Structure 1
Amino acid sequence: MDSRTKLLRAVFHQGFRTPDWRHKQPPPVVTVDEFFAGNDDNESIAVNLSDHPGVGFFHERLKSLQGRPDVKSVLVNIYDLDPIISGGWPYAENVHVLTSASEEQIQAWAADLLSDGAAEGWPYGQPEAAQLPEGHFKWWWFSWD
């Protein structure tokens, strides 16, 4: 099974539904490895950047974040599946990091990722697939609006 098919199965297993306020269900999340394996679609993440650095830029930086001792998890939300109709990759609107790092450090990560900044929590609610924070760990999210 190819990487794209595995990704789509992970998404559909969570019951994909485009986020809206009628259903009040958060979009599904997948791991960094699931999202980026085989992904060469620059429009799959941070599509609003005028000078997009390429999907590999985000993969490299998010993998690096994932390896830090103050980070427990890095997840990518799947916001839109329309691109798959034409053979593209699902669209990710946000990246979520479960960390005990300081807000100053998290905002530095956001800048490194060319994000508009980081915010604590989940913009559409925490999905069931995301682990609950423990101790000093909190969920933060990055977006590219």
Structure 2
Amino acid sequence: MITKLVTSAADVIHRAQVNGAQTATGLAIALESAQLLQNPARAAELADHRARRDLLLAMLPTEPLPAVMLGEGSARRAAWAVWEQVAGALGVTLPYDPAGAPAARLAALLAEHTVPAAAPAAAYRITEVGERP
């Protein structure tokens, strides 16, 4: 018997019961969330893949392709093309934003739909149809 694994499972089950899980399915979900239902070799492999992905993400360029000097352009473009392939395999785009591209997309979306403070408010009068004056 693997005492450490049994103790971990008992702790997860206890926390799940305290949080309201009462069915076998609820307890199984708690065990799966804690990654206790995985084969230890598979869990180690998954952790290794995540570490390698994080390492590659840290290596991606965070600035756009710089302007190139005469004679060095083809080498820089070739290196950039390789990084683009790596980024594509990782599901991100270049230049990579480690803070999260979703934040940049949200800021752009908000900028599209934000009305400048100096814009005059449209005047409406209260009618049944909502006509403009």
Q: Please report the TM-score for the alignment, with normalisation by the length of structure 2.
A: 0.23
Looking at secondary structure, tell me which structure has more strand per residue. 1
Looking at secondary structure, tell me which structure has more helix per residue. 2
Q: Please report the TM-score for the alignment, with normalisation by the length of structure 1.
A: 0.22
Q: Which of these two proteins has the greater Rg computed from alpha carbons?
A: 2
